[in-house]
Amino acid sequence: MRVERLTAWRVTPLAPGQRMDRCADQTARWHRGRAPMIYASSTPELAVLEALVHFQVPLLPHALLRLTLHDVHVREVRALPAGWKSRKALTRDLGDDWLARGHGQVLAVPSALCAEAVNLLIASERLVTGQMHCRRMRAFRFDSRLLEGKGRPPS
């Protein structure tokens, strides 16, 4: 489906003045890293949770980013088989297939943290100049209550 304006969120270890890397080509849940993909979330709250489970050192300086995309084609992953969260080969195949077929700039997928929530995978190489605007909303620090029980002493 064609979307005129789409907002996505990302929490990332990004120092002031540093630019977001549009070419993250590491293997992750939804692709094998053969092509650049930006992982983002549909809400800032989900972006916080996703960052918390993926970053090794959440005490580094982070930033809350708002990504605004204009006139993009969004595809949705609608139904996944039972047990998909533990079958990374399956989800990587789906993402790699979407990338290979060239269908749109954004793939909406369920979050493995909460399948009712939506993450947005952005095929950065398919975006044209001006189609995505990244704004650093503010510096971000994880609430210390989220870090308790993750190998760090409570404050």
In this structure, is residue 120 part of a structural domain? Answer: yes
pLDDT tens digits, one per residue of 23-81: 456 788 999 988 889 999 999 999 999 988 877 665 677 889 999 999 999 999 988 99
In this structure, is residue 118 part of a structural domain? Answer: yes
pLDDT tens digits, one per residue of 101-134: 988 999 999 999 999 999 999 999 999 999 999 9
pLDDT tens digits, one per residue of 84-101: 999 999 999 999 999 999
Higher pLDDT, 139 or 94: 94
Q: Would you call 37 exposed, middle or buried from its count of C-beta atoms within 10 A (0-12, 13-18, 19+)?
A: buried
Higher pLDDT, 144 or 47: 47
**Spatial contact of 64 and 47, defined as CB atoms under 8 Å apart:** yes
In this structure, is residue 103 part of a structural domain? Answer: yes
**Residue 32 corresponds to which amino acid?**
R
Higher pLDDT, 20 or 68: 68
β-pairing, 106-110 with 132-140? unpaired
In this structure, is residue 152 part of a structural domain? Answer: no
Give the number of domains in the chain: 1
In this structure, is residue 86 part of a structural domain? Answer: yes
Predicted confidence at residue 24, as pLDDT, reads 55
The Cα–Cα gap between 37 and 59 comes to 25
Predicted confidence at residue 154, as pLDDT, reads 46
In this structure, is residue 114 part of a structural domain? Answer: yes
The pLDDT of 134-152, averaged and rounded, is 77
**Residue 41 corresponds to which amino acid?**
S
In this structure, is residue 155 part of a structural domain? Answer: no
In this structure, is residue 154 part of a structural domain? Answer: no
Predicted confidence at residue 61, as pLDDT, reads 77
In the block, residue with structure tokens 């002493």: 153
Residues spanned by the domain of 122: 2-147
